[in-house]
Chains A and B, each alone.
Chain A
C-alpha cells in the first residue's frame, strides 16, 4: 500500500512548469559539465567534477518529478525518501569511482586493493535497496507496473549479455571483464524507459 505523506507541496512543485523544466534541464547540463571535468583528469578537475555531478543529481531527481507533478500529484513519502537516498548514494558513488577507485591498481596489499576496487558497489547496493523499498511501498497498480518494467529490463539485459558472451567465447569480439560494469546501468535505463512508457499507456497517452 502506498505510504503517503499527505499533500505537502514543496516549493519546487509550486514553480511554473517552465521553471521546473528549466531546473531539471539545468541538472542534466551540470551533470554533463561535471562528467566532462572529471574525464579531463587531475585532482582539481576530478573534485570539481564530483561536486558538479553531486549537485546535479538532486536537481534531476527532484526537478524531473516536479515536472510530472501536475499529472502524477505531489511526491509521496516513499518517493521523497527514495529521491533523498538517491541524492546521497550517487555522490558517494562519484567520490569512490572518481577519486578512489583509480588508485586500486597501485596498492600493494591485496585485501586493501580488493576493498578499494569493490568499494563503488556499496552505494550501488544502497541504491538497489532504496529502489526495492520504493517498489514495496508503492500501491498495487504501481507494483504491477514496476514488475512489468523489471521483467522487460531483465529480459533485454539477459539477451544482450548472452549474445555478447557467445560472441566473446567464439572470439568474434574481444572484451574484458569490465563490460560487466554496464549490466546495472543498462538494466536501470531500460527499466526507467519501460516504466515511463507504461505510465504513459496507463494515462491513455
Chain B
C-alpha cells in the first residue's frame, strides 16, 4: 500500500512526533506507515483521513500489480 502521509504531514508543518500525538500512536508507527513498512488498520486509516480532511482513498492507494 502506498500513501501520501509524509506529504500531508509536511504540508501541515508537523513533525512525526506531532502527528503521532494527534493520532494517539507511537512515532515508530507514523514512521512505519510513511515508509510503507506498515499498513494501518481501518480505524487508524479513518482517523488519519479525518485529521487531514480527505477521503481514505485520496491518502492510501493499493500497490500497482
Contact = CB atoms under 8 A, between A and B. Distances in A.
Interface of A: 1-2, 4, 6-7, 71-74, 76, 138-142, 199, 201-204
Contacts of B20: 4, 73
A139 B29 contact: yes
- By secondary structure, the B interface counts as helix
B29 to A, nearest CB: 4
Chain A's interface: helix, strand, loop or mixed, by majority?
Answer: loop
Contacts of A139: 24-26, 29
Contact of A204 (B25, B37, B40): B37
Contact of B21 (A4, A71, A138): A4
Nearest to B28: A72
Interface of B: 16-17, 20-21, 24-29, 31-33, 35, 37-38, 40-41, 44
A137 B40 CA distance: 17
B25 A2 contact: yes
Contacts of B35: 203-204
A71 B15 CA distance: 12
Nearest to A73: B27
A202 B41 contact: no
Contact of B37 (A2, A71, A142, A201): A201
28 contacts: A1-B25, A2-B24, A4-B21, A6-B21, A71-B27, A71-B28, A71-B31, A72-B26, A72-B28, A73-B20, A138-B26, A139-B24, A139-B26, A139-B29, A140-B41, A141-B25, A141-B26, A141-B33, A141-B38, A142-B26, A142-B28, A199-B28, A201-B37, A202-B28, A202-B31, A202-B37, A203-B37, A204-B37
